[in-house]
Structure 1
Amino acid sequence: MQWHATEQQSQLADALERFMQRDYSFEQRRALAAGAGFSPQSWALLAELGITALLVPETFGGLGASVQDGLHALQTLAPALPLEPVVASSLLATHLLSGCSETAAARAWLPRMAEGRAIATPAHFEAEQGFATEQPQTQARHDGDGWLLHGAKSLVLQAQFADVLLVSATAGDGQMAWFAVEPGSSGVHLRAYPLLDGQRAANVTFDGVRLPAAARIDRPGQGVALYGAMRDVWLAALCAEAVGILQATLDATVTYLNTRQQFGQPIGRFQVLQHRAVRMWMELEQARSMALLAADVCTQGDAVHRTRLLAAAKARVGQACSYVSQQAVQLHGGMGMTDEMQVSHWFKRLTVIELWLHDSDSHLQRYANSLRAA
């Protein structure tokens, strides 16, 4: 099963390859991860390439491309491990706002996001519930003509660099609602920290944050569906990103096996190491097929069927992440875990991908439960 890229996808992929080679090398990214954790210059270059406008509807100055176009670009860009909010802002937040494009908040933010002048990030997870935040503990109460927001969010990606947080909360009617909250608003407090893979995240508290009525993104009764749609795209994005990194990890490992000398010959000539490399390739190809399936179904079809297939895809891709990354480190020897080796950074990101939005075991259980319920 192959991904037959369209002409537009191939052209963007070529541009992204040049960007990674010229403007986002491993050493540049490594220095950035150890420092600010975000490059305004790199973000501006990605905006010039169209990444920030890719999924924004044309009516808001975007390119109006499909989610599949975005996933193809993400897979291409994945080996560079960009610290900039490609997933959080250009994919997830854009998809969320596009789902309620008739609201004032969406009309205000989408044009700026398309131009790369604004960064948005979803703020949904909560410490006590983690990735299973189905009913937010964060509360939004009516306050005159506006809203009063109380609560806390965790693992908010790139929150310290964002211009707006898209916050989920339980409204007065007991239903999930979404609000556009600027981080500089009175009552908003951020505690930023790096994740295992170098990405920046933050815990954010909302202490009586006053919001105008126009800050609400969704229409009543729409909040749960918006989250479900964003979660499905997020799962497909994790799968696509993983495949891009898995391919790079395999390529680097095979190159190392063919150049590292022992007993007067490349270690890649030893049959036992060849078998391990072949198993890595098999894991990659199975993950690639499941990532293609996830990309195909993440925005289509019956919700129950879509959830089942995405659970299967995330489980299989997660297993490949664990196996390939661990084998790559072992085959590189002790140096495979050093910060100077790119494979160690891929290992960290693949580990996070396996765990993010629940690990493989959890998704296997979800898949089994859906079959029993059918």
Structure 2
Amino acid sequence: MPTLEDLITSEIIANGPMRLDTYMERALLHPEFGYYQKQIPFGSKGDFVTSPEISQMFGELIGLWCVDTWAKLGAPSKFAFVEMGPGRGILMQDALRSAKLVPEFLEAAEIHLVEASDQLIKVQQERLKDHPIQWHSAFPDIPDGMPVICIGNEFLDALPIRQFQLVDGGWQEKKVTVTDDGLTFVTPPSDEADLADQLPSISECSDGDIAEISTPAREFISFLAKKIKSNRGAALFIDYGPAENALGDSFQAVQRHEYSNPLENPGGKDLTAHVHFSPLREVALSAGCAAPAIEGQGRFLERLGIEARVMQLSKNATEKQHKDIVAAHKRLVSEQEMGTLFKAFSFSSGLAAPAAGFGDAE
């Protein structure tokens, strides 16, 4: 029986070197062999751990952020509550639990989960079985006029990227090809100029520099920002990467909590890249949304009151539970851990006041 690597190899032999975004899409989403179709990647037994799995505080605070946003929208009687890439459903579970403080919010929410993995949908359905939820493979068709609150944690980093390397004073696209030793990278001379306006100025770069662009991320943020501009609402995405554009190769594979070669065993490991937030924010602004400056996850959670939640949870905790709470808090907000590398990115339209956790929106 052929493997995904066999299929990719055959495609490259037939069509020539494969763009990196195509390779990522095959490796992650192939209907039979794709990484997200074959296994549950999250948690201590998976390949990596996300913020909602580190502590319930993360999801609870996101839930309260959503309630606050809904109130700033004027508490609409119906709105679409959308999560992109909900993982094992832990973030939504914790968010809905904290939202119980405002029953009207839950009554107004039409909950939509956008998930590409059949395996993960089964897990989400079991975890969230007490809530009326609709599942989708792509962003749901929201009726015109219905406000939208959309959240996503570590969703944008999995969207495919393209890489360009400066070679002899010109940008050449890095692609995947086949050698006797397996899959490897190549930078064939490129005549594609479709992304020239998105690449850094050659005068500001040096030979060997690598620039990354995620067209799917830009297209999705553009679509969502236009939807929010016309319907009112807000979006919140938390992911890792630089607030401003940065050069460098961030394409990586994670397997059993360790980094590994992203071109080995496609479909058997998670593939991600850093999110470049600045161009995404510009996309949201150009659609007419308000978009505050990108904020570090640590500062964002502190503004939402994570210290108070630590104290509240610790009141009736055992000594071990208290140590675990403190350790989780540090992991989420510390500059040495997730507090700075991970960023909070939000845009909105129609709010009576700026979104919580950020400075004033532009």
Instruction: Give TM-score scaled by structure 1 length.
Output: 0.27
Whichever structure has more helix as a proportion of its residues is: 1
TM-score of the aligned structures, taking structure 2 as reference length:
0.28
Bigger strand fraction: 2
